[in-house]
Amino acid sequence: MAATATSTLQIATARSCMSSPRKLVKAGAAVLGTSSKQLSWSKLASSSSVSSVQPLQRSFMKSSVRSCKVATKAMAESGDTKPAPGLPIDLRGKRAFIAGVADDNGYGWAIAKSLAAAGAEILVGTWVPALNIFESSLRRGKFDESRVLPDGSLMEITKVYPLDAVYDKMEDVPEDVKTNKRYAGSTNWTVQEVAESVKQDFGSIDILVHSLANGPEVTKPLLETSRNGYLAALSASSYSYISLLKHFLPIMNQGGSSISLTYIASERIIPGYGGGMSSAKAALESDTRVLAFEAGRRRKIRVNTISAGPLRSRAAKAIGFIDTMIDYSSANAPLQKELSADEVGNAAAFLVSPLASAITGAVIYVDNGLNAMGVGVDSPIFKDLDIPKAEH
């Protein structure tokens, strides 16, 4: 288990910070007003292992603190000091497998960071064609700035597994995929094989995260979506979660937790989010309730899904209008601000922690409240109404 990430996680609000040429300081110190001179820099070195289990040593580089908006941050307290006041999220001694991490700017990465900040050991599953780039970026330190945790240390990824969650076992893989050069050099990447590899390497896990979605025809209206495109969206975006939980459930410790990511298009019309993706998200939410019952009865595993608002991630840009959706959300949500990936990560950390021990089968909205709105208040039809706006 990762002993260096022994921290408890509390939810705090990080105020806007201005650019500084100083070395990157602890997020906790930045919020609490601690001088950077008081900080110990001995903890700012970490390592990350990839599929070959070769430790990747990276020294912490000087970096400027970017200007950041008011956002919820995960605050870490040293496990060696007295217990933090309040209700800390403590995941020390827990191991998490996060499926669907291929870069450092999506929800999967943010969830990994929040879990790591709370003390969990992190394993990730990366789509096979993206594996080499992801591992190379880790080795070269490209993600080091993004790996910084609230206490100033770097998130450690104990191991990266190649994964294609569209296939349950190798017999299901078409020959053209097996021989595809993007899969060359990788083995044991079907869901069944990855679960077996994790069992051989670590024995068990406590947390399973599904951060996967793909719709090859997502830009097409539903009436123009082909059968193959529709079924492909459901296979990659919803059935993949059933498969992951089915194969990982036997190695999940009782009392563990599993979460997935969904979107409001499951229950509301979002023009442009096509290709069967809205249907896939609706299926994912329905499956969450059934899986909560079955996994709960079998192994006392809690199953929930987070309905996250729009994020300007690389994956979301494939939809083609993500910037418009972010602007719409900022204009119409009760909380007029851009959603940060950290906020979804922190919600995930809460859901998999003992603090959420009675929550299962739920859809948790983390979208600045946009799901509660019945109309778009930025519509010209409401121009004469005195609609309150956010104070700046």
Question: What is d(CA 61, CA 72) in angstroms, rounded to the nearest whole number?
Answer: 25
Question: What is d(CA 91, CA 120) in angstroms, rounded to the nearest whole number?
Answer: 5
Is-contact 167 190, C-beta < 8 A?
A: yes
Question: What is d(CA 217, CA 225) in angstroms, rounded to the nearest whole number?
Answer: 7
The residue annotated as part of the active site, out of 238, 240, 243, 340, is 238
Q: How many CB atoms lie within 10 A of CB 180?
A: 13
Q: What is the C-alpha end-to-end distance of the chain, expressed in Å? A: 44
Question: What is d(CA 392, CA 380) in angstroms, rounded to the nearest whole number?
Answer: 23
Is-contact 311 359, C-beta < 8 A?
A: no
Question: Does the annotation mark 281 as catalytic?
Answer: yes
Question: Does the annotation mark 383 as catalytic?
Answer: no
The residue annotated as part of the active site, out of 257, 281, 329, 353, is 281
Q: How many CB atoms lie within 10 A of CB 383?
A: 8
Question: What is d(CA 83, CA 78) in angstroms, rounded to the nearest whole number?
Answer: 9
Measured CA distances, 100 to 105, 210, 286 (Å): 12, 7, 21
User: Mind telling me the catalytic residues?
Assistant: 238, 281
